[in-house]
Structure 1
Amino acid sequence: MGSLAVGTKGQWMTGVSTDISTSFIKPAGTEGDTLYCRGIVDGMGKTLAYTRIEFRNQGGQLVAFGHHTKFVGKTVNHERNVKFSPDGEDLIEGTIPEDGH
């Protein structure tokens, strides 16, 4: 999820993991229950991106969280990066390759 969060910032590659952790707070439920996951980019600089992931149960209670630090130095300001609208729905700068690579 940390990589997906970095991808929402338009990076053409999401870098390499340098630190990753998960903490489980309480049981998440039983088989068949729905969990909700949210990935957040807390900060992104010239070389590192810091992400936070939250898992919540159907009642909205936090059941687990994680942190993921990524080395993104080779992708910052790369010609293949794109820019999305604030809501993430539209591509406003750059192009996405037809073949997905």
Structure 2
Amino acid sequence: MDEYTSEIFMGGKNTIVLHNTCEDSLLAAPIILDLVLLAELSTRIQLKAEGEGKFHSFHPVATILSYLTKAPLVPPGTPVVNALSKQRAMLENILRACIGLSPENNMILEYK
């Protein structure tokens, strides 16, 4: 509860009381859970390109989490994808690859 008091004409006082029920954090809780689960999943995924000898993990800055964040953070030199539909398609295609299905479009895995 916030209370603001000000003086008005002829020595009077004006008090404004605001009751603010913050439920934004309740709305964000499922998104935070999804972020944690995707972040944990991304630590388990390893990939390699043709011709590479060893598998490697995703970059520590997990671009696949950008779908659930307001401003995507990407590793240096990686193209920033701000389009929500492209971010979702990237996430769906990476999850498709995890279960052995082919991607529906370019995942830009060379930057992951």
With the shorter chain as reference, the TM-score category is under 0.3
Q: More helix per residue: 1 or 2?
A: 2
Higher relative contact order (CA 8 A, sep 6+): 1
Larger radius of gyration: 2
Q: More strand per residue: 1 or 2?
A: 1
TM normalised by structure 1 equals: 0.24
